[in-house]
Structure 1
Amino acid sequence: MGAGPAGASLALLLARRGLPVDLIDATGRGGRPFRGEGLMPSGLAALAAMGLQPLPPAVAQRPLAAWSFFLDGELLFEAPEPMGSPLPCTLIDQDTLLQELLAQASRLEGFRFHAGQAATDLLEQDGRIAGVRLADGSALEADLVVACDGRESMLRRKAGLELESAPSPLDVLWFRLEAPGSEALVHWLAGRFVTVVGAAGSYALFPSARGGVQLGWAIEPGGAAPAPTPASPGEWLALWARDAPEPLARLLRSLVAAAVQGPVRLPVRVGLCPCWQRPGLLLLGDAAHPMSPLRAQGINMALRDALVAARHLEPALLEAEPAAIDAATAAIAARRLPEIRRIQQLQQEEARRADLLRRRHRLRSLLARTARWSGPLLERRWRATQWELRNGVEAIATDL
């Protein structure tokens, strides 16, 4: 259930092994204006194990060149990719990745895609989940239901599996800066992920794999944008320019208002399900562990979930014995939970450091004035904190 990164990739992997797979998705996979674009080396490694590395040409993609950090308009440091990883972080258009996964799965016998069809309930038989009830009233029976239906998972609630919510480190207002006028901004970014922190607030921007620029403006969790809230695209551009380095500030001020799309506020929910399974049911991806948007861990952890799940489920589903299937789902959760806990901890720590810079004007000003000396020290510290966020906590088997 759910044709996002976890559901679509798991469906493809299982269908390749000749298993009958029904993939249900209520949305029909229509394009969304804002979706995670960052594939870390950990996610790229998972795709490589799926036979999708190099990424197919149909997937819009842009390798990231560097990470740049500006405080009060001064460059603190810049860390070039790939930062010791096998591959650089790569920006992708997630919609085209999902379309490629579904296209490959649709060519396999036994795969069926129920686009635009919602599941409304779980079917139970003798204490075991035995399938789902669809919105049209029909029943779809299954040896195993895999819930990949997102952070607000209906199947998780129906199964009575509790999500332990954690405080969200931040909320984000998302904008897209598109033509006309964004071309010069894309050229200035030169493939970099740029973070700007100053008295007015903090934001990050990067060249989108879909074209144009994507910009995220950080706000207090559950709160509003800084007062007074900008009422027009021109006011937003002026706000971003206030703390930007001069070349970026000049480009932002010259951007036409028609190029600014947004803001769109996507709900940020962070949590972890301590139990991912019931007999006949398994949670994966955001249904099991909604992630903070920091470092795009949602898509990367979902792909790693699917890879581990496929490896354990294939023999169990071929055996078709309930006890074997339930043992496999328990093994999947046991394998994935430690990494998810660690990644969420690292995201919280990074959010606290960013919040400290946003709030402490004197500290930010001191670091900006001494960037020539403090920058290299902070870069080394930052690189060390990024290793697990980029590469995963541990290697996962890729011998499917």
Structure 2
Amino acid sequence: MQTTGQLTGRQSGSVQIITTQCVIAGSGPGGLMLGLLLARAGVDVIVLEKHPDFLRDFRGDTVHPATLDIIDKLGLLDELLKVPHTQAPKLHAEIGGQNVTIADFSRLPVKCRFIAFMPQWDFLNFLAREANKLPNFRLVMSAKVTGLIENNGRIEGLMAETPAGITEIKAQLVVGADGRNSLVRAKAGLESTSFGAPSDVLWIRLSHQPEDPPYTMGHGGPRQGFVMVDRGEYWQCGYVVRKGSFAQVKEKGLEAFRQAVAEVSPLSPDRVEEITSWDEVHLLSIRIDRLNRWWRSGLLCIGDAAHAMSPIGGFGVNLAIQDAVAAANILAVPLRKGTLNDRHLMQVEKRRVFPTKAIQKIQLMMQSSSKKRRNSDVKRSGPPAFVKGIARWPILAHLAGRLVGMGVRREKLRSSLFKTR
């Protein structure tokens, strides 16, 4: 599959100069979805990705019902579901040796009442393939953003190192969709507020064996600080640790770490022997923050670049997609007509800031019990309080399914705007 577009423009010395209507830094779920939608609405779009491919492990791989609904409205659902994936109509946790449903998607008002567990690189390759069919869309891999172009306080484009050389891309709008360590938001001087996070996650791979627990559609939910995602041939497992404690975990030695994992994993104890070195343990530093303002004149941030999320609930990918849909709904026409102004960017933030605040608040509440445990002299065990509550009142599993599957504010496509042109 071809995922790299060619940048062509006029030369000014050793710098290539290109003009487009919108340039997006970052080809994660939010960036690619926004690029696809704008291109289908007739906007000229360039998406830049600093890596040569999408093959990076331990990234969010949950495609939520709300996102599947967007794909369906675009007429692409049948093709997406041909991509290898696992469907989870429910999410589970193990409490006292019993498998308990903590999120049930069966009553959602959408066609796909399940989460699709799909490696993110496959999902991104799918979006890129569909977008590349459009003549006004270009995805450029190995393109590293180095700075912004500013004129009288307005952002008018960006500079990048691309396979074609140093490139200046002028555009009505620059979108930062380049993740929680966004260079775009840093270069734009946008300030954020951090809300902290009491935990980190250590990601590992363990083999998938026939005798493994038969979780619904192969997914095991949180079990005393341990999460499992079925990747077919292996389990992607996350072991939750206290914030900043990875060095201490390593000091205790690999055998102690294997034993700790075995104590909370539902897999057979000998499975942890597959962890043979610390090179196989990957740290995800959890951070929750949000930009105080998501935009400047000529620039907008979405997804993790605007609001870093905890992996709890898998909300990050869905929020980024919803940001992209809201941005496309509001910005497509003014971009196409050349009438984009600050009011449009303000509307995007206003539309998306409430659901972002709500989800982050929920994540912080879900993590508060873990913080209390750390500060307590009494060592407690067992699942978080919210999981116990859902186990006690099963109807809450449907409410949790609604929250996880659809989010706080579901964005709907203006379908007439995004028909293939």
Aligned counterparts of 2:206 and 2:323: Cα–Cα separation in 1: 33
State whether structure 2 residue 37 is matched by structure 1 residue 17: no
Query: Residue deviations 1:173-220, cap 9 Å, x none?
Result: 001113xxx2236563352323222xxxx2111312x53111100011
Residue 238 of structure 1 aligns to a residue whose secondary structure is helix
| TM-score scaled by length of structure 2 | 0.81
**Structure 1 residues 163 and 314 mapped into 2: Cα distance closer, same or farther (>3 Å)?**
same
1:63/1:88 contact within 8 Å kept: yes
2:104/2:397 contact within 8 Å kept: no
Shift of 1:52: 3.4
- Matched AA of 2:153: G
- Matched AA of 1:114: V
1:336 corresponds to: 352
1:146 corresponds to: 175
Select 1:351's aligned residue among 367, 372, 381.
367
Shift of 1:256: 5.1
| TM-score scaled by length of structure 1 | 0.85
1:237/1:253 contact within 8 Å kept: no
2:145/2:159 contact within 8 Å kept: yes
Aligned counterparts of 2:297 and 2:390: Cα–Cα separation in 1: 53
1:221 corresponds to: 243
Shift of 1:291: 0.7
1:172 corresponds to: 201
Select 2:326's aligned residue among 302, 305, 308.
308
Aligned counterparts of 2:238 and 2:247: Cα–Cα separation in 1: 12
1:238/1:253 contact within 8 Å kept: no
Aligned counterparts of 2:249 and 2:166: Cα–Cα separation in 1: 48
1:5 corresponds to: 29
1:64 corresponds to: 88
State whether structure 2 residue 58 is matched by structure 1 residue 40: no
Select 2:98's aligned residue among 45, 63, 75.
75
Shift of 1:289: 0.6
2:64/2:114 contact within 8 Å kept: yes
1:240 corresponds to: 261
Cα RMSD of the aligned pairs, angstroms, is 2.9
2:92/2:215 contact within 8 Å kept: no
Select 1:257's aligned residue among 257, 274, 277.
274
1:196 corresponds to: 223
Shift of 1:61: 1.4
Which moved further from structure 2: 52-61 or 210-219?
52-61
- Matched AA of 1:13: L
- Matched AA of 1:47: I
Query: Residue deviations 1:318-337, cap 9 Å, x none?
Result: 1102xx34322111111000
Q: How does 1:42-191 map to 2 (within 5 A)?
A: 42-54=66-78, 56-71=80-95, 73-75=96-98, 77-79=100-102, 81-85=104-108, 86=110, 87-135=113-161, 136-178=165-207, 182-184=208-210, 188-190=214-216, 191=218
Aligned counterparts of 1:225 and 1:46: Cα–Cα separation in 2: 42
- Matched AA of 2:270: R
1:357/1:363 contact within 8 Å kept: no
- Matched AA of 2:263: R
- Matched AA of 2:131: A
- Matched AA of 1:194: G
1:169/1:348 contact within 8 Å kept: no
Query: Residue deviations 1:60-93, cap 9 Å, x none?
Result: 311115333234x532733474253241222111
Select 1:205's aligned residue among 228, 235, 245.
228
Shift of 1:106: 1.2
Query: Residue deviations 1:303-330, cap 9 Å, x none?
Result: 0011111111111111102xx3432211
- Matched AA of 1:125: N
**Structure 1 residues 380 and 356 mapped into 2: Cα distance closer, same or farther (>3 Å)?**
farther
- Matched AA of 2:262: A
Residue 195 of structure 1 aligns to a residue whose secondary structure is coil
Which moved further from structure 2: 52-61 or 288-297?
52-61
- Matched AA of 1:265: L
- Matched AA of 2:293: C
1:395 corresponds to: 410
Aligned counterparts of 1:392 and 1:30: Cα–Cα separation in 2: 26
1:193/1:205 contact within 8 Å kept: yes
Q: Percent identity?
A: 26
1:29/1:115 contact within 8 Å kept: yes
1:189/1:206 contact within 8 Å kept: no
Residue ranges of structure 2 left out of the alignment (5+ in a row): 1-24, 416-421
- Matched AA of 1:207: D
Query: Residue deviations 1:194-250, cap 9 Å, x none?
Result: 3222xxxx2111312x53111100011222377575634x65443333245xxx35x
**Structure 1 residues 377 and 34 mapped into 2: Cα distance closer, same or farther (>3 Å)?**
same
Aligned counterparts of 1:49 and 1:227: Cα–Cα separation in 2: 47
Aligned counterparts of 2:53 and 2:317: Cα–Cα separation in 1: 15
Shift of 1:127: 2.2
Residue 166 of structure 2 aligns to a residue whose secondary structure is coil
**Structure 1 residues 303 and 2 mapped into 2: Cα distance closer, same or farther (>3 Å)?**
same
**Structure 1 residues 268 and 255 mapped into 2: Cα distance closer, same or farther (>3 Å)?**
closer
2:160/2:168 contact within 8 Å kept: yes
